[in-house]
């Protein structure tokens, strides 16, 4: 797996590179800003780019713009955007422009090699990855208590995993359920919440997130 890292902090670039190497991945290039990143992508053609959202010059949302530029030029390259501070709006923006092969995670979420491998493999496989803490925060909001009360606790678990971008198979594995059971749950959730059913996994992430954010 060929990986390019963009982060303006050398310490983190190095740390992440070592973790990726430990996970058996091949860090083919790293950069500290958008220009360096785009050059690195042109020369090394990675499978996935791991991008810090705060980059020079303004240290606000340059990472999202870097992701946009990358996906416009190389639609096949997966993107994992890391951030110190999660913003549901950013996750939404990212998924809206590219509904597959993108992920938005807390920066230190990937310090566990297993988590890192899982996230990278999922985005490379074209899935979406949304940080669980975004989902937890959205779901725990008081104004969602009433609309969500129509769901069983099992259905609520399924809803959360859907929002994180998991596939039915992955949800089944997590909750020790058969794929058929998960499918039934998903259908009931969509019925109860009045959401338009989308069979496509990535589209449904957006639909669920939109519901949770409203």
Which residues contact another protein (rule: CB under 8 A)? 9, 11-12, 15-16, 18-19, 22-23, 54, 58-61, 84-85, 87-89, 107-108, 111-113, 116, 137-138, 141-143, 213
Closest alpha carbon to 168 in 137, 112, 127, 211: 127
Q: What is the rounded CA–CA span in Å between residue 211 and residue 152?
A: 17
Q: For the CB of residue 27, give the shortest distance to another protein in the complex, in Å.
A: 13
Considering beta carbons, is residue 88 or 175 the nearer one to another protein? 88
β-pairing, 48-52 vs 26-31, is unpaired
Distance in Å, CB of 184 to another protein, minimum? 31
Considering the complex, state which of residue 111 and residue 152 has its C-beta at the smaller distance from another protein: 111
Tokens at 93, concatenated:
């923006």
Query: Helix (H, G, I), strand (E, B), or coil: what is residue 27?
Result: strand
CB closer to another protein out of 90 and 190: 90
Q: How near is the Cβ of 126 to another protein at its closest, in Å?
A: 26
Distance of CA 29 to the CA centre of its chain: 22
- Our CA dihedral for 205, 210, 212, 214, rounded to 10 degrees, sits at 180
Residue closer to another protein, measured from CB, 53 or 186: 53
């Amino acid at each position: 797996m060929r990986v390019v890292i963009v982060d303006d902090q050398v310490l983190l670039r190095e740390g992440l590179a070592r973790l990726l190497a430990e996970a058996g991945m091949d860090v083919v290039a790293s950069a500290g800003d958008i220009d360096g990143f785009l050059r690195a992508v042109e020369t090394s053609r990675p499978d996935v780019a791991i991008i810090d959202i705060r980059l020079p010059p303004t240290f606000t949302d340059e990472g999202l713009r870097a992701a946009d530029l990358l996906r416009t030029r190389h639609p096949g390259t997966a993107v994992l955007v890391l951030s110190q501070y999660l913003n549901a709006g950013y996750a939404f923006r990212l998924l809206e422009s590219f509904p597959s092969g993108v992920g938005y995670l807390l920066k230190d979420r990937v310090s566990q090699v297993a988590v890192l491998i899982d996230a990278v493999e999922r985005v490379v496989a074209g899935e979406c990855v949304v940080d669980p803490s975004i989902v937890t925060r959205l779901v725990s909001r008081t104004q969602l208590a009433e609309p969500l009360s129509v769901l069983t606790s099992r259905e609520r678990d399924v809803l959360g995993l859907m929002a994180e971008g998991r596939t039915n198979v992955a949800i089944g594995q997590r909750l020790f359920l058969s794929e058929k059971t998960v499918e039934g749950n998903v259908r009931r959730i969509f019925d109860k919440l009045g959401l338009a059913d989308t069979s496509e996994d990535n589209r449904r992430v957006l639909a669920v997130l939109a519901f949770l954010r409203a």
